[in-house]
């Protein structure tokens, strides 16, 4: 596996939407003809993917919100995986 790009500014493509399902109490990634139920803090991570923050900026913001969490190790690979799926541009 290659190292993710830290200076990339990830964003959801226009056809995808991040929504919160209040009934289930979880975040959803709504794609054309498909819905992905996000687990844990995935919705929080995706909420920061607005095309203005770099991966490094997202990691820094999450590290501030969740002290002690392994965001520096996990988040770049998570974002890279979503990019490979075509869910981030």
Residue 2 binned pLDDT confidence (cut-offs 50, 70, 90): low
Token pair for 41: 């803090």
* End-to-end alpha carbon distance in the chain: 19
Whether residue 5 is predicted with pLDDT greater than 90 in this model: the reply is no
User: CA 54, CA 68: separation in Å to the nearest integer?
Assistant: 21
17-40 per-position pLDDT tens digit = 999 999 999 999 999 999 999 999
Q: What pTM was estimated for this model as a whole?
A: 0.90
Count of CB atoms situated within 10 Å of the CB of 28 = 16
Q: What is the pLDDT of residue 3?
A: 58
Token pair for 72: 């520096």
Residue 7 binned pLDDT confidence (cut-offs 50, 70, 90): confident
> Which residues contact residue 60 at a Cβ distance below 8 angstroms, ignoring those fewer than 6 apart?
none
């Amino acid at each position: 596996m290659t190292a993710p790009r830290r200076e990339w500014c990830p964003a959801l493509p226009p056809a995808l939407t991040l929504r919160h399902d209040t009934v289930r109490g979880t975040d959803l990634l709504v794609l054309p003809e498909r819905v992905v139920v996000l687990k844990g803090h995935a919705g929080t991570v995706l909420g920061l993917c607005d095309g203005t923050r770099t991966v490094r900026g997202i990691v820094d913001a999450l590290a501030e919100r969740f002290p002690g969490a392994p965001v520096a190790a996990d988040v770049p690979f998570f974002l890279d995986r979503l990019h490979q799926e075509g869910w981030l541009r």
